[in-house]
Amino acid sequence: MLYYLISQICAVRAAARQLKTEQKRRPCTLKIQESAENYLEAILVLMQKNGQVRSIDVAHYTGFSKPSISRAVGLLRDNGYVSIDQNGLLGLTESGLKIAETIYERHTVLTAFLTALGVDSEVAAEDACRIEHVISQESFEKIRAHVREMNEHL
């Protein structure tokens, strides 16, 4: 029994070491949670659309409550992704803008790719919103290149 437990502990430790090694080899481009990425993307889209953004605009856009957005915006500010001026207008810092642009590009490219495959545009946009957070950089770059190639042949 003791031998069995020791062998199981060793197996778990070996698996953990292998996972750590794989994680070190795999480049992780974004280090924030999916919800934070969604908020940054929403701020970017609203800035492009309206020129200026307040927390209430993000609440309306995302469908979340104002208190939830205020909490999220506060965390994004504390972590250096968002700035808030004296009038309550939101802005993206350099790092926040980089993440927002990355997520937005992924969203638009993946939506275009899925619709080109014949997926309904609403379904494609919803699926892209989920995929954009988990797809590897390598896979995304291949899809982006394929979409560009498809567009060149149109």
- pTM for the structure as a whole: 0.73
Tokens of residue 63, six digits: 């469908």
Q: For 78, list phi and psi in degrees, rounded to 5.
A: -60, -30
Residue 84: left (phi > 0), alpha (psi -120 to 50), or beta? beta
Q: Among 139, 141, 129, 132, which residue's Cα sits nearest to residue 30?
A: 132
Q: What one-letter code names the amino acid at 15?
A: A
Helix, strand or coil, per DSSP, at residue 83: strand
pLDDT score, position 33 = 87
pLDDT tens digits along 36-89? 999 999 999 999 999 999 999 999 999 999 999 999 999 999 999 999 999 999
Tokens of residue 18, six digits: 């292998």
Give the separation between CA 132 and CA 129, rounded to whole angstroms. Answer: 6
pLDDT tens digits along 95-112? 999 999 999 999 999 999
Q: Which residue has the higher pLDDT, 19 or 80?
A: 80
